[in-house]
Amino acid sequence: MNTDTDNLTVHIIYKDLEQTFSGKPEDVWASINKFFNQLLPTFEIAEKLVLHVDLQNLVSQCEGLIAFSPEGPNLLIPRDKLTDNETLSLLLLAAHIGSKLGKTQKEVLSKDTLQAKLGKDMKITSTRLGELTKSEMVRKTDADEYRITTFGALQMQKDILRRIKAKILV
pLDDT tens for each residue of 80-139:
999 999 999 999 999 999 999 999 989 999 999 999 999 999 999 999 999 999 999 999
d(CA 29, CA 15): 21
d(CA 170, CA 167): 6
Q: Is the domain of 110 the same as that of 65?
A: yes
37-46, 48-57, 95-104: range with highest mean pLDDT: 95-104
pTM confidence score: 0.73
Q: Is residue 73 part of a domain?
A: yes
Name the domain count of the chain: 2
Cβ–Cβ under 8 Å, residues 132 and 89: yes
Largest interatomic CA distance in the chain: 84
Nearest CA to 103 among 141, 62, 144, 133?
Answer: 62
Q: Which domain holds residue 26?
A: 8-47
Q: Is residue 2 part of a domain?
A: no
Cβ–Cβ under 8 Å, residues 69 and 125: no
pLDDT tens for each residue of 72-82:
899 999 989 99
Cβ–Cβ under 8 Å, residues 148 and 93: yes
Q: Is the domain of 39 the same as that of 88?
A: no
Cβ–Cβ under 8 Å, residues 119 and 132: no
